[in-house]
Amino acid sequence: MSEKRAAERRPVTIVTGGGRGIGAATALYLARAGHDVAICFRRDADSARQVVDDAARLGAASCAVRADVTREADVDRLFARAQDELGAVTGLVNNAGATGMIADLVDTPVATLRGVIELNLVGTLLCCRRAAHAMSTRHGGGGGAIVNVSSSAATLGSPHQYVHYAAAKAGVDTLTVGLAQELAAEGIRVNAVAPGMVRTRIHADAGDASRIVRLAPTVPLGRPGEPEEIAPAIGWLLSAEASYATGAILRVAGGR
């Protein structure tokens, strides 16, 4: 990192699942807001590199790091790369997630259940744990903020769709509330954003690309959300404007 950028003391935020969808929109929103961003991706290197290029055009330093957030060693490497290339980490957006297949619980393979819980809940736990080490004043850090991306499914339950995913996101909500209290005295705020139906590839990845169109009438606002409508909520919770907000779960779900 250059001496000039170090002197600017820009926020450095890690965004998991940052190569596409809500993660990509959030990374670019943060770049516009003056953050340098580390883009964590697992498979789609081309999309992650595109976000890095777009962030650079917005004046942000950025790096793309291939990492599996369910693996402790990968999470450690992600934070190390972010610090080495961008500076001390001040923020984390836990966005990496997937629903797995759409089916009743009884018809969902155990391997799918485990994979969804590992990615959405265990991955978030591991990243939060590492962020606490990096940012906590008790551990020598300068403080910071964590935003977990939950889902409206956490309270709706998503029957006949993916109750396993809903259960994982409910765990994320509980983690957010408890960890916010645990880290409040150590300079770290912890909040969550709970999107509803958003126009991303998560539906196609689950095997039902038409789901978002079919279920749009069930949303009070009458349409799915766009990733760019979720990103500002995440950005606000990371910002100094939200300095008194911790343990909050901000629903951005079109009224559902």
Active-site residue list: 165
How are strands ordered across the β-sheet holding 91-94? 62-66, 36-41, 12-16, 91-94, 144-149, 188-195, 249-252
CB–CB of 124/175 below 8 Å? Answer: yes
CB 93 within 8 A of CB 16: yes
Q: Which residues of 151-188 are buried (b: 16+ CB within 10 A; e: fewer)?
A: bbbbbeebeebbbbbbbbbbbbbebbbebbeebeeeeb
Q: Are 202 and 161 in contact (CB under 8 A)?
A: no
The greatest distance separating any two alpha carbons of the chain, rounded to the nearest whole angstrom, comes to: 57
Give how far the C-alpha of residue 117 lies from the chain's centroid of Cα atoms, to the nearest Å. Answer: 15
- Indicate the length of the chain as a whole number: 256
Q: Where are the alpha helices (DSSP H) in the chain?
A: 3-8, 21-32, 45-57, 72-86, 110-117, 123-135, 153-156, 163-183, 202-205, 211-214, 227-238
